[in-house]
Amino acid sequence: MTGDETTPSPLGLGRDLMLAGSRLRDAVRRRAQREFGLTALQSDILLVLASRGSMISTELASACGVNASTVTHAVDAGVERGLVLRVRNEADRRLADIALTPAGKRMAERVRALIADLARAALEGVDQPGLLAESLAQVTRNLEKG
């Protein structure tokens, strides 16, 4: 090996980031399904709506990184469970805003707590979690540019 042996290669670091994200998402998916009966997408929808408020389905799909038909199926399931509702959009009556119900807000808090619990376990042994968080936020901003 040449150069600074403590600096990972961009390829290795990219692989590690993808793997860590995938493993965390899988852990969230498994526990959310087991504990709350939610899919990973349903969990994402609850968290997005809890932080951003009501949205139309295309905005919600974009925020969750899926297509509109996929988000529609997940929202339908959320409506059936009483976690989300559709309300006529005031600006464009042809559209419906998707919003959390009180039960949806409570479930979003439970999902947040689950993710925080998994993140604490994932960060075990990490010396500077604050620095890691700042770095990952910058990685996200960089990826959103392109």
DSSP class per residue in 101-125: -HHHHHHHHHHHHHHHHHHHHHTTT
Which CATH number, 1.10.10.10, 2.170.130.10, 1.10.240.10, 1.10.3720.10, labels domain 40-119? 1.10.10.10
Looking at residue 1, its pLDDT comes to 45
Give 40-74 pLDDT, tens digit per residue.
899 999 999 999 999 999 999 999 999 999 999 99
Looking at residue 66, its pLDDT comes to 94
Nearest alpha-carbon partner for 45 in 9, 18, 84, 80: 84
Looking at residue 5, its pLDDT comes to 64
**76, two tokens:** 């339908």
All structural domains of the chain with their residue ranges: 40-119
pTM of the predicted model as reported, rounded to 2 decimal places: 0.80
Looking at residue 113, its pLDDT comes to 97
Spell out, as residue ranges, where the chain has pLDDT lower than 50: 1
Looking at residue 85, its pLDDT comes to 97
Looking at residue 4, its pLDDT comes to 57
